[in-house]
Structure 1
Amino acid sequence: MKLLAALIAGLFAASAVSASVKNDHEIELVRRKMFIKDDNELDIKALSRHYKAMNSKYKSMMRNYHHHTGKQHPFLRFLSDLLDSDDDNNNNKDKRSATNLLLQDVMQEQLWAGQVTFGGQSFLIDFDTGSADVIVNPGAYDPRKSQSAKSSGKTFRTSYGDGTTAQGMVYTDDFKIGSLSASNVAVGHSDQTFLDHEGGNEGIAGMSFSTLSAFPGNYKPFFYSLMEQKSVSHGVFQFTLKKGKGSTLTLGAVDTSKYSGEPVWSSVNPEQGFWATQAFVNGVKINAIVDSGSTIITGPIDQVRQVFSKMSGLQTFSQQGQLFATFDCNSPPDVTMNFAGKDFKFGKDQVGYGKQGGRCVLSICGQDQLPMDAWIVGDSFFLGASVIFDMEQNRLGFAPQK
């Protein structure tokens, strides 16, 4: 595993990718706060089940990688994760632009969704940088009702973090998101409901690199189609997630109004599929997968113990293979993540996630069955930074939110 973690000095190259975009192109992201009861008590058992299920998503991504490349993923920890059925997967210029999407919180701080259109049919879909494909529930999108839909004759099967499985046929169709559009964009039409309808969300829109795809090699993630058909001015997108309202996804440009100062840059290896780079948590060096489809931050249990040992006032406990920590809500511990040499200190809303026994639960969890030697960096980090995903220069940008 040789991920680069170089700091790239300065701004974007003179290519105008830093040009700000207008707010009238924004689409909302809807959130709901899963695992939190009415009294703000965290349902630890439910969260523990969620993390076990989240592992199935990453095992599926590891198998997809193996299917596309014939190699084990360099992050893979357990070879058995590749042996769970690798057969699941056999199956114009003046229009270039950018769009700013207001993101809606449909899964209580777990899923971030906005409206997309396939074949004239519109629905809310979750934007997930930890997977690669657009897959929708049956009923949300019906290829039989679209004059532009084409069947690939290929099937797919994949798992997600809530423990569900999606399987069905891959189609291509006309696609629209905000002010952007593309033709022949791949969409997986699931034969069974794999995503809870609560909040109106009907699917997953993967935004990782194509080596994680459950689709055949010729059917790429939707953002690839926008780039290849030159619908976007630049191959970048930007998440700015906020507590409450105001969360946005910007496609095709960088909205400089979302952050303070200048971004720092850390390179990624697109061949590895994930938006992964090196980082530090309270001084402990980690591999970080930046995943908009994850809730709090989780890592290999031995590395998380090392991070916990550097904090004062924690009380730890284990639940079904996960390691949690609580703290006095009036005295939160210092949590700092460092990307490309820049510290991002967590604010009050980032450090804790619900309560347990009158104490706040730390938003970092350890897992002994995490299938890869990497941390999943989810919302708890996003809430303090504007994160830029640059597919043109294979790098991640981080800047403090305004």
Structure 2
Amino acid sequence: MRFSFVFSITALQALVVALSQPVPLSISLTKKSSLRTADGYVDPASIRAHISSIEAKLQRGAAAFERNTGAAFFSHSLTKRAGSSGSDPLVDSSNTSWFGAISVGTPLQNFTADFDTGSADFFLPGPSCDVQCSGHTLFNPNSSSSAVALGKSFQLSFGDKSTAEGQQYNDTVSIGGLTATAQTLGVASNTSGFLKEKFDGLMGMSFPSLSHFPAEPVFNTLVSQGAVSESVFAFKLASSGSELHLGGVNSALYKGSFTYAPVTKQAFWQIDGDGIWINGNQIVKTFSAIVDTGTTLIVGNSSVVSQFYAAITNATEVQPGIYTLPCNAIPNMSITIGGKAFPLSTDTFNKGPTDSSGKICIGGVQGSDSVGDQFQWILGDVFMRNVYTAFDVGNSRIGFAELA
């Protein structure tokens, strides 16, 4: 009997320990609209505007990296071509932003946030934002007993010339049932255009070196405070069933094993790849790229993208860096990383027709002169919709697996 009693106590202790461990959670993601016009066509001008916003984000991140580390991110100034575990469901806004539910403060106040692996800071609209933030849920730090004013201001600018500025606070942040305490966030008192989006605020998930505050990103705080069992978050991006998984991966959403690529520079999520293929022909050899949930396209250096489309019959550059191709001739494209080829579906490569004829379509790969210094490519939605992607903060690597 004594042995049984000891065994029972031991088993109970093991159960208590197991129950106390952090559980990975998922957040559903949504993406509401697209780069298409109201009549359902793809406007090259909207593609150019999105690329301009990405170029501005690169410049903003590079400036923060230089200020935080004392080292230049790019070897020269960026230029733009003239002319134009738990899971959280995600929603897509303007085909550029994946957003889901978060909560902030004590008691918790509920919001939606764009989860962006291409930036580091977290901010929400504040109570004095007024008309500029109409239609959005405002965070009032005065209504939170855990909010602490830091006496520091912030100002962020975005590619469409919109801005967000205000004051920094520490407060409790809950995401997917996981809680970070004393998390730094910005409370915007003034915005210009940015918060016209479907989501309330922005939550950056890059490395801390890109922070303008500067401060630890929310997921890094979850890791340091032991709120997650694994220092990994993972994305599935799709037309339906999209999610952000925190504290590990969701085994129901992928099949086979992960192929990992080490992060080559802890700023953006930057890795090296082996090649890019079109219709069985290797167009690009070894390359460097960043993986970004905030980019809807695959964006490459303008000169390399020109070579890319030269391999596609009747592809045409209609604006600087913007290419069309026949809708009935969408190529088979694949990207090789870590020795494994990941094919892209024609549905993700084809962004849609330019007019009612349905003959000419916009390609999912477009060019920018701001890409090509420290990395040649940005792998956004057009790539990520074809893979399950795990961002491993602890081991500084990204894993890719086939979607289940």
For the superposition of Structure 1 and Structure 2, which TM-score range results when normalised by the shorter chain?
Answer: 0.7 to 0.9
Aligned to 1:6: none
- Return the alpha-carbon distance in structure 2 between the equivalents of residues 121 and 252 of structure 1: 23
1:26 is paired with a residue of what secondary structure? strand
Q: CA 1:364–1:337 in structure 2 vs 1: closer, same or farther (change >3 Å)?
A: same
Aligned to 2:326: 328
AA of the residue aligned to 1:247: S
Between 342-351 and 40-49, the greater mean CA deviation after superposition? 40-49
Aligned to 2:119: 131
* Deviation for aligned residue 1:371: 7.7
Matches within 5 A, 1:334-349: 334-349=332-347
- Return the alpha-carbon distance in structure 1 between the equivalents of residues 157 and 75 of structure 2: 17
Between 130-139 and 227-236, the greater mean CA deviation after superposition? 130-139
Deviations along 1:252-273, whole A, 9 cap, x unmatched?
0111211121110000035x31
1:32 is paired with a residue of what secondary structure? coil
Residue correspondences, number: 354
* Deviation for aligned residue 1:303: 1.5
Aligned to 2:245: 250
Q: CA 1:372–1:165 in structure 2 vs 1: closer, same or farther (change >3 Å)?
A: farther
Q: CA 1:371–1:332 in structure 2 vs 1: closer, same or farther (change >3 Å)?
A: closer
* Deviation for aligned residue 1:369: 3.9
* Deviation for aligned residue 1:275: 0.4
Matches within 5 A, 1:284-363: 284=284, 285-309=286-310, 311-319=311-319, 322-357=320-355, 358-363=359-364
Aligned to 1:171: 169
1:56 is paired with a residue of what secondary structure? helix
- Whether the 8 Å CA contact 1:130–1:291 is kept in 2: the answer is yes
- Whether the 8 Å CA contact 2:324–2:360 is kept in 1: the answer is yes
Matches within 5 A, 1:52-201: 52-73=52-73, 75-78=74-77, 98-105=85-92, 107-119=93-105, 120-139=108-127, 140-194=138-192, 195-199=194-198, 201=199
Between 156-165 and 300-309, the greater mean CA deviation after superposition? 156-165
Aligned to 1:389: 391
Aligned to 1:228: 224
Query: Pairwise CA RMSD of aligned residues?
Result: 2.0
2:60 is paired with a residue of what secondary structure? helix
- Whether the 8 Å CA contact 2:353–2:360 is kept in 1: the answer is yes
Deviations along 1:79-129, whole A, 9 cap, x unmatched?
689xxxxxxxxxxxxxxxx21111122x14211111111101110000000
* Deviation for aligned residue 1:397: 0.2
More strand as a share of residues: 2
- Return the alpha-carbon distance in structure 2 between the equivalents of residues 291 and 365 of structure 1: 15
Any unmatched runs of 5+ in structure 1?
Answer: 1-20, 82-97
Q: CA 1:286–1:318 in structure 2 vs 1: closer, same or farther (change >3 Å)?
A: farther
AA of the residue aligned to 1:110: T
Q: Relative contact order (alpha carbons < 8 A, sep ≥ 6): 1 or 2 greater?
A: 1
- Return the alpha-carbon distance in structure 1 between the equivalents of residues 158 and 109 of structure 2: 24
Any unmatched runs of 5+ in structure 2?
Answer: 1-22, 128-137
- Return the alpha-carbon distance in structure 1 between the equivalents of residues 178 and 209 of structure 2: 24
Deviations along 1:23-60, whole A, 9 cap, x unmatched?
xx533212133320244311111221232232111101
- Percent identity over the alignment is 32
- Return the alpha-carbon distance in structure 2 between the equivalents of residues 198 and 212 of structure 1: 23
- Return the alpha-carbon distance in structure 2 between the equivalents of residues 266 and 54 of structure 1: 23
- Return the alpha-carbon distance in structure 1 between the equivalents of residues 166 and 290 of structure 2: 28
- Return the alpha-carbon distance in structure 2 between the equivalents of residues 350 and 400 of structure 1: 15
Aligned to 2:132: none
In the alignment, structure 1 residue 278 sits paired with structure 2 residue 280:
no
AA of the residue aligned to 1:249: L
Q: CA 1:103–1:70 in structure 2 vs 1: closer, same or farther (change >3 Å)?
A: same
Q: CA 1:109–1:182 in structure 2 vs 1: closer, same or farther (change >3 Å)?
A: same
Between 380-389 and 351-360, the greater mean CA deviation after superposition? 351-360
- Return the alpha-carbon distance in structure 2 between the equivalents of residues 338 and 281 of structure 1: 6
- Whether the 8 Å CA contact 1:58–1:371 is kept in 2: the answer is no
TM-score norm. by structure 1 comes to 0.83
Q: CA 1:307–1:27 in structure 2 vs 1: closer, same or farther (change >3 Å)?
A: same
- Return the alpha-carbon distance in structure 1 between the equivalents of residues 29 and 159 of structure 2: 19
Aligned to 2:369: 368
Q: CA 1:356–1:252 in structure 2 vs 1: closer, same or farther (change >3 Å)?
A: same
- Pick aligned residue for 1:267 from 262, 266, 285: 262
AA of the residue aligned to 1:138: G
* Deviation for aligned residue 1:77: 4.1
Q: CA 1:384–1:248 in structure 2 vs 1: closer, same or farther (change >3 Å)?
A: same
- Return the alpha-carbon distance in structure 1 between the equivalents of residues 389 and 101 of structure 2: 21
Q: CA 1:197–1:165 in structure 2 vs 1: closer, same or farther (change >3 Å)?
A: closer
- Whether the 8 Å CA contact 1:268–1:275 is kept in 2: the answer is yes
- Whether the 8 Å CA contact 2:316–2:325 is kept in 1: the answer is no
Between 255-264 and 348-357, the greater mean CA deviation after superposition? 348-357
Q: CA 1:77–1:259 in structure 2 vs 1: closer, same or farther (change >3 Å)?
A: farther
- Return the alpha-carbon distance in structure 2 between the equivalents of residues 186 and 371 of structure 1: 33
TM-score norm. by structure 2 comes to 0.83
